[in-house]
Amino acid sequence: MTIYTSMPLELVFEGFKDQLGPFVDITISGIRMQVEPISPGIGKIIRLMDCPLDAYLRPELSPGTVIAYGSVM
């Protein structure tokens, strides 16, 4: 990765290593995703990690979508 900037690197990378809350990696229908648990068995999609390219176009798999995953695991 190359970054061209006139800003100090301390400002550019501030908070880069800070990780938000605990995430869970789950697989549903062959799509591996990272989910932030909201309540038991329900979570918000953070990102898709391993899936076919057309899965990124499906609105039900977009980041921020709330899904049920408890019975699928």
pLDDT tens, position by position, 38-73: 999 899 999 999 999 999 999 999 999 999 987 544
Q: What does the mean pLDDT of the chain come to?
A: 88
> Is the residue at 1 inside a domain?
no
Is the model's pTM score more than 0.85? no
Domain count along the chain: 1
State the Cα–Cα distance between residues 18 and 6, nearest whole angstrom: 23
Cα 13 to Cα 34: distance, rounded to the nearest angstrom: 23
Instruction: Classify residue 58: in a domain, yes or no.
Output: yes
- The span from the CA of 73 to the CA of 28, in Å, is 8
One-letter amino acid at 66 equals V
pLDDT, mean of residues 26-35: 94
Taking residues 31-38, what's their average pLDDT? 94
Range of the domain at 63: 20-68
Whether residue 15 is contained in a domain is answered as: no
Q: Is residue 2 part of a domain?
A: no
List Cβ neighbours of 41 (8 Å cut-off, separation of 6 or more): 68, 69, 70, 71
